[in-house]
C-alpha cells in the first residue's frame, strides 16, 4: 500500500492533530505493514494494533515534529507495537488449551505435573546469575525489547540476544531431561 508521504504538519489544524484525517489516510497503510510482517496475527489483533498506533500518536501529539514525515512516524510506531504484541502473545496459551487445563485441574496427576514443571523453571531461574535472571525476566515477563535491556545492563543487543538464547536452551534441556519434552507433558 503506497501512501502519499505528507509531513506531520499536514495533519495539524490550529496546533491540534486532526485524527480523523490521519485515520482516513493511514489505516490501510498500517494494516498492510502488520499483515506483511506478522501473518500469524488474527484480524482482531491487527485491528487492535491499528487502534494502538492511532492512540499512541494521539497521546504523543504534543511531541510531534511537524517537519517530519507522517508515514515514517506511523511506520515506526506500527513496527514497535507489533514487536510488543508478538512478544506478548508468544507465551500465551490459546483459549482451547486454557479451557482444557481448567477442566483438567480436577485431575490431581495433571495438576502435579504442571506444578512440578513450574517449580523446575523457577529453580533454574534462581540458579542463574542475578544479571541473567533479571535479563530473562525483563524480556519475557516485563516485555522489554532487547535494545532496552541492553541499555539497562550496559551491553550490546547481540550480547543480550545471546544470553536469552542460552537461557532458553538451558531451560529446554533441563525440562527435557526431567521428562517434560516439547509435547508439554
Residue-level pLDDT, tens digit, the chain, 185 residues: 455 667 777 877 777 777 888 888 888 888 888 877 755 667 777 888 888 888 888 888 888 787 888 888 888 888 877 777 666 554 443 434 444 444 344 455 656 666 677 788 778 888 888 888 888 888 877 778 889 899 989 999 999 999 988 888 888 888 888 877 654 44
Work out the angle at residue 59's Cα, subtended by the Cα atoms of residues 54 and 62, and round it to the nearest 5 degrees: 115
Q: Where in the chain is the domain with CATH 1.10.1740?
A: 8-90
C-alpha cell at 15: 496546533
CATH class label, 8-90: mainly alpha
- The pLDDT value recorded for residue 156 is 93
pLDDT of residue 155: 92
What distance in Å separates the CA atoms of residue 83 and residue 57, rounded to the nearest whole number? 17
Tell me the chain's radius of gyration from C-alpha atoms: 21
Which residues does 158 contact at the CB level (< 8 Å), separation at least 6?
none
- pTM value > 0.85: no
Q: Give residue 108's pLDDT.
A: 58
Distance CA 16, CA 166 (A): 48
CATH 1.10.10.10 placement within the chain: 95-177
- Whole-Å CA distances, 92 to 70, 88, 140: 33, 7, 11
Q: How many angstroms separate the Cα of 52 from the Cα of each of 45, 47, 57, 79?
A: 10, 9, 9, 12
Per-residue pLDDT, 102:
47
Architecture of domain 95-177: Orthogonal Bundle (1.10)
Amino acid at each position: 500500500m503506497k501512501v502519499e508521504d505528507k509531513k506531520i504538519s499536514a495533519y495539524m489544524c490550529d496546533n491540534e492533530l486532526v485524527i480523523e484525517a490521519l485515520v482516513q489516510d493511514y489505516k490501510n497503510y498500517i494494516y498492510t505493514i502488520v499483515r506483511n510482517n506478522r501473518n500469524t496475527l488474527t484480524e482482531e489483533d491487527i485491528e487492535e494494533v491499528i487502534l494502538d498506533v492511532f492512540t499512541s500518536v494521539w497521546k504523543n501529539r504534543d511531541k510531534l515534529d511537524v517537519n517530519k514525515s507522517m508515514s515514517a512516524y506511523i511506520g515506526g510506531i506500527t513496527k514497535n507495537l507489533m514487536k510488543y504484541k508478538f512478544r506478548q502473545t508468544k507465551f500465551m496459551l490459546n483459549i482451547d488449551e486454557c479451557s482444557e487445563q481448567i477442566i483438567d485441574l480436577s485431575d490431581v496427576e495433571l495438576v502435579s505435573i504442571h506444578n512440578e514443571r513450574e517449580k523446575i523453571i523457577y529453580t533454574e531461574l534462581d540458579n542463574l546469575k542475578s544479571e541473567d535472571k533479571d535479563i530473562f525476566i525483563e524480556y519475557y515477563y516485563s516485555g522489554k525489547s532487547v535494545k532496552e535491556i541492553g541499555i539497562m545492563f550496559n551491553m550490546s543487543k547481540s550480547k543480550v540476544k545471546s544470553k536469552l538464547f542460552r537461557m532458553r536452551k538451558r531451560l529446554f534441556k533441563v525440562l527435557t531431561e526431567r521428562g517434560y519434552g516439547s509435547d508439554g507433558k
